[in-house]
Amino acid sequence: MSIKAVDVKNLREKTGLGMMECKKALEESQGNLEEAITNLRKNSALKAEKKSSRTAVEGIIIAEKKENDIVFVEINCETDFVAKDNNFIDFCNESLNFAIENLDKENLLEEVSNGMEEKRMSLVQKIGENVIVRKVEKLTGEILAFYVHSNKKIAAGVAFNTGEENIAKEIAMHVAASNPLVLSPSDLDENYINREREIFKSQVEKEDKPLEILEKMIEGKLNKQLSDVSLLKQPFVKDPSKKIEAFLSETSSEISSFTRIEIGEGIEVEKKDFAEEVKSQLEG
């Protein structure tokens, strides 16, 4: 089948692999993007897809704690220049305050988007760039702490059942740095586990070793992967000699939930020049 230039572009952006390798993977998967990513990983060409949905969208994330809630707001714009503009920053702060004033509403994102729409349109006209209220998230708990990185591109929040706020702040910083998917391996979706197992099976099945050894290799790789994406099983960034669960136990802390936000996560960005380059090479 004929592979479109835009599909090659998307796969290359998601994987960081070469253009021809991406084209071949799409041909083998009959144009199915997710199947192409999985096949690349099975062939060990792609080791991880943690960042497969991330692109360089600009903007900032801000947060504030009020009583038993932390509110996070992500506002996107088109350039880093505008992200540092005072008019844009003022709009972001107003959006956060609006969210805090409406914490009792069921859909905070919709509430803030509608409530700030007139000011958003006015800002767009003033700065000449599109502005989007992309995320408004609330984290609720007894003991709360959050961390926003200095560039305001990554933020994380943690809720404890027991413990101290300063310890929760350290865990929030760890979450921002290590990007866990879940609290514990038992929280992972069965489909995720099965997909990872199939990938590791494909990676080792050509090894000239007994079946029982191959099975142990697969389970070893799988268990490591599940630990790598589970907060409690991750090595603590400040002291890699101990796991997060050990650090929490030592400090008499119990975590109930966490959240992490990164600017532009999951947004596809059009790169016209690159698409034209791919198109010309494919057609050539």
At residue 227, the pLDDT reads: 94
At residue 54, the pLDDT reads: 31
pTM for the full predicted model = 0.73
The CATH superfamily assigned to 1-54+268-284 is Ubiquitin-associated (UBA) domain (1.10.8.10)
At residue 64, the pLDDT reads: 97
Q: Which of 172, 183, 171 has the alpha carbon at shortest distance from 63?
A: 172
- Give start-end residues of each CATH 1.10.8.10 domain in the chain: 1-54+268-284
Domain at 56-140: CATH architecture: 2-Layer Sandwich (3.30)
Q: Under 8 Å CB-to-CB from 149, ≥6 apart: which residues?
A: 155, 176
At residue 96, the pLDDT reads: 98
At residue 11, the pLDDT reads: 81
Q: Which of 105, 75, 106, 103 has the alpha carbon at shortest distance from 91?
A: 75
- Give start-end residues of each CATH 3.30.479.20 domain in the chain: 56-140
Sign of the Cα torsion 29, 35, 36, 38 reads negative
Each residue's pLDDT expressed in tens, for the chain with a length of 284 residues:
788 888 887 887 676 566 777 888 899 999 998 888 888 777 644 443 333 333 337 999 999 999 999 999 999 998 889 999 999 999 999 999 999 999 999 899 999 999 999 898 888 888 888 888 999 999 999 999 999 999 999 999 999 999 999 999 999 999 999 999 999 999 999 999 999 999 999 888 888 888 888 889 999 999 999 999 999 999 999 999 999 999 999 999 999 999 999 998 877 665 545 455 554 545 54
Burial of 10-28, coded b for 16+ CB within 10 Å and e otherwise, reads bbbbbbebebebbbbbbee
